[in-house]
Structure 1
């Protein structure tokens, strides 16, 4: 093993050395731990069998699948019951009233008995070998609270090809990993690619009542209490993109920003331990600054696109103002003010056009970096 630092944003590094291992990596753990996979389901009966099979076929681990049906109106319950009757590793919990994804997952969590935990939406799948690779990391590093890797986003048929071999592992101190998330203000995890240590989940609790960022808040809460590991070189899950998904139907830019702010606010409620409070307050200010900066940048881009006076732009600026961030901390504020002075002429400004292209380029670079580093 060797020590390595991971570069992220220009001028910022994760403050503690990450442990990085790249030689003779086991692709399965030495023993076969029990992994509980909770599958919340609402009207995804046509995807359910494929999701369950992607779990039952995992090598190197023992699995239990807990399907929690949230009062579906399609044939989900009959499909889930048939799956359970054909394999003793599958259990079904049915809810008589629809309670939403958080309550559904937490009910499945309460029934789980494994050493490790995965939350798998019924329309997603695990790639072959995913649980073996992630439990191998978790077994090697007992201080790791969760392991994640690269998810393949797709639409249409499930991809046939994927990367099957872990090339390296990286383990970061959890609070330093979390600090970067606050500096960027964004989540970097989809969901099915995460394996959690059950003892830590029991210690910090399940998901909290957030409409769209309950997963994000939970990952960040786990990172506050334990180290975080990333699997490089292998694809850990398939995430299905389709028009019926909750995020596709209900999340626009402003809603996304507000939901991320709510997750950070809930995450950094004053900790019980007095010595943790200054850092929690600092990280919350950092997250608020990142979100305000994003809202202002998006508003400036609206002016560049000729939509500066529309309601959505004003709502973005209202959101930024609510966060009460010092103006000097918002790097895109001078760009916005110039755009506001130009008004309808902003879309003809070479300066604003250049800044808009640079902002989009920065976001694309972040996306590319995420694909290779998980950050």
Structure 2
């Protein structure tokens, strides 16, 4: 990074009824050394005190702008206002209830200044409830580079989004090239964006110091907590399907990745169905998961697993020793798979 020129970063802060968090989010975004920042607060017609707080913040610092929707347009429209506004070299989208860690933007910008082929840099987002854990701020930075195809392949094979948004910084021209957030994907619009970015550029994950803090509270529960695993998996499938349909990767690669992601989602659905039967014995939600697995997995590949699930429909099975041993085996397999996944760079 040049000693005489500071990279520029535009930060969009979407807000709906998060006025109680807004000033803290803006303060953490402004307090970023080594970069020039601008902030756009996009208020999606909040009904709390967001408007008065946002206007006060904008009036007190020329780097802050405030935009209010006259009516509620929803998250994706709010995000896309920030995307269209961005004109700096780099762009970040940070929800009003989340916080950027000190130095996060400078670390990301430094990578992209040195590596013009990189379009996405992200670090670690740590959950917090009341006060963020700042213990890792001074840790050494570990830079993990992936070419776009490698990173994209991992995400499709795992069918999992590993970025929650506040920890991500995108090269603005790349963001504009791939477009904004898709309204038809209410819960996986960000996953869709990361896939598109990886299709046209390389990716770096920064280990070490925390990059952002993700606030956990009752208003931002995951889709799984609200509507269940089947709904979550369907939303993931929708993001992946749209990505492949849009033709961001050659058909020869896309066909393989499409099938791999479908098989992974099917496996997750079958595992979820088994867990439901282990814990509650209820077959309705498990049946829905099995039906989803049949939709997205390769025909015949999961036939044995589905047959096993059908055999478990009676309560006698749960009282048997076979059920107990099966639970233990599945738990061990899940833990082994999790540990293997953690060793892979994201």
Is TM-score (shorter-chain normalized) higher than 0.5?
Answer: yes
1:323: which partner in 2?
Answer: 296
Deviations 1:19-54 (A, max 9, x none): xxxxxxxxx765311100001100000000000000
Higher mean C-alpha deviation, range 359-368 or range 50-59: 359-368
C-alpha separation in 2, matches of 1:270 and 1:106: 19
User: Structure 2 stretches of 5 or more lacking a match?
Assistant: none
Contact 1:29 1:60 in 2 (8 A): no
1:282 aligns with 2:256: yes
1:311: which partner in 2?
Answer: 284
Contact 1:41 1:70 in 2 (8 A): yes
Aligned length: 339
C-alpha separation in 2, matches of 1:168 and 1:272: 29
1:175 aligns with 2:149: yes
C-alpha separation in 1, matches of 2:32 and 2:345: 23
1:21: which partner in 2?
Answer: none
1:97 aligns with 2:97: no
- Partner secondary structure for residue 196 of structure 1: strand
Contact 1:339 1:346 in 2 (8 A): no
User: Structure 1 stretches of 5 or more lacking a match?
Assistant: 1-27
User: Matches of residues 1-375 of structure 1 in structure 2 within 5 Å?
Assistant: 30=3, 31-209=5-183, 210-245=185-220, 247=222, 250-271=226-247, 276-307=250-281, 309-328=282-301, 330=302, 334-342=304-312, 343-347=314-318, 348=320, 349=322, 350-362=324-336, 364-365=338-339, 368-369=342-343, 374-375=345-346
Change (3 A) 1:271 1:367: closer
Contact 1:268 1:284 in 2 (8 A): yes
C-alpha separation in 1, matches of 2:176 and 2:297: 35
Contact 1:299 1:336 in 2 (8 A): no
- Partner secondary structure for residue 149 of structure 1: strand
- Partner secondary structure for residue 152 of structure 1: strand
TM-score scaled to structure 1, two decimals? 0.85
Q: What is the RMSD of the two structures over their aligned residues, measured on CA atoms? A: 2.0
Change (3 A) 1:29 1:138: farther
Contact 2:105 2:169 in 1 (8 A): yes
Deviations 1:222-268 (A, max 9, x none): 00111000112121000001111153674431221111000001111
Change (3 A) 1:367 1:43: farther
C-alpha separation in 2, matches of 1:246 and 1:106: 22
What is the CA distance between 1:302 and its match in structure 2? Answer: 2.3
